[in-house]
Amino acid sequence: MNAMLNRHERAAARVNLLLSAAIFALGAASLTVSVLSKPQENYFYEFRYMTVNGTVFTTLISLIILPVYAVQLRTGKVIVIKQLYFFRLSAAVTECIIAVVILLSFFPLVPDNPSILSFDSFNMHVVIPLLSILSFLMSESPAKAIHPLMRLNCAWLITLYAVVVITLIITGFIPQEKIPYSFLDFHTRPLHYIIPFGFFVYSFTYVLSVLLTEGNRRLFFRRRGKGHPPVRSV
């Protein structure tokens, strides 16, 4: 049987339930505003941005998380679903990268400088990333140590995004003037610029995965306390 929630875990579950509800509400509202604010544009091109795809993914994951925490609080049992854990990790890492990129964009040498003053942009670039990272850190952790290669699960969304967008750029479905980020402009950027940038992104992604999973595990087992039975993953 799954271990029972102690009072610290029950409090964390309540907070995570609220965080997941907030992420879902803000994500749905931000995506709606973002699409409706550009009625003259092809909606297809909105999904060329990692921020939009990350928000869609994180919003859907939050919707899945809500009933999990509702069941935990109702039954009083700790529920650790490995697949959902890694989906949450992928969402948290992606949102963390979105937040870091928006911070770096304020440096004068960075050509991509999006505005974050609108409702949808501020939520997708700042609020949702922060809430997603906090939610993951407060989530339940697998009982066994995470194998280093398993942390590569954090790159699911980033890899899918890169494959799809690069394919659309190469085949011309995304024209040059619609390329979302300057480092993906194969027409003007040499390979010795693009390849190291891609290596940096994946290396940074893995470092974030290590930091987030270790932070999550330490906080979870601190809440569990000594003498409590282990948690069985499902």
pLDDT in tens, 95-111: 999 888 777 665 555 55
pLDDT at 93: 95
pTM of the entire structure? 0.86
At 126, is the secondary structure helix, strand, or coil?
A: helix
In a domain, 229, yes or no: no
Kindly tell me if the per-residue pLDDT of 230 is higher than 80.
no
Number of domains observed in the structure of the chain: 1
Kindly tell me if the per-residue pLDDT of 211 is higher than 60.
yes
Kindly tell me if the per-residue pLDDT of 54 is higher than 90.
yes
pLDDT at 67: 94
In a domain, 164, yes or no: yes
pLDDT at 1: 43
Kindly tell me if the per-residue pLDDT of 185 is higher than 90.
no
In a domain, 167, yes or no: yes
In a domain, 2, yes or no: no
Query: By the 8 A CB rule, do 3 and 72 touch?
Result: no
pLDDT at 149: 85
Give the whole-angstrom CA distance, residue 203 versus residue 181. 19
In a domain, 234, yes or no: no
- What is the pLDDT averaged over residues 59-79? 92
At 93, is the secondary structure helix, strand, or coil?
A: helix
pLDDT at 153: 87
In a domain, 1, yes or no: no
Backbone angles phi, psi at 10, to 5 degrees: -65, -40
Q: Identify the domain containing residue 195 by its residue range.
A: 7-224
In a domain, 232, yes or no: no
